């Protein structure tokens, strides 16, 4: 789910799934930054999608 959400800004997610994804990622970023870094390095090693995903996360 995370790779697709990262690449498409959760385009296939319904509103509830988007809400949950935002909460989950915000929690990981805040409380487990090392894990977030590991996940983004794995799923977006060339940093193609992370900036647009940050915009998606900030639109709450």
Name the token pair of 12.
């296939």
Q: What is the pTM of this model?
A: 0.80
pLDDT band at 60 (very low <50, low <70, confident <90, very high): low
Residue 33: predicted pLDDT? 98
Residue 59: predicted pLDDT? 83
Buried b (16+ CB within 10 A) or exposed e, 40-59: beeebeeeebeeebeebbee
Under a CB-based contact definition with an 8 Å cutoff, are residues 10 and 17 in contact? Answer: yes
pLDDT tens readout for residues 9-48: 999 999 999 999 999 999 999 999 999 999 999 999 999 9
**Would you say residue 1 has pLDDT above 80?**
no
């Amino acid at each position: 789910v995370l790779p697709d959400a990262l690449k498409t800004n959760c385009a296939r997610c319904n509103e509830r799934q988007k809400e949950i994804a935002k909460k989950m990622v915000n929690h990981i970023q805040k409380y487990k930054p090392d894990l977030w870094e590991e996940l983004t390095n794995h799923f977006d090693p060339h940093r193609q999608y992370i900036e647009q995903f940050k915009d998606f996360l900030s639109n709450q």
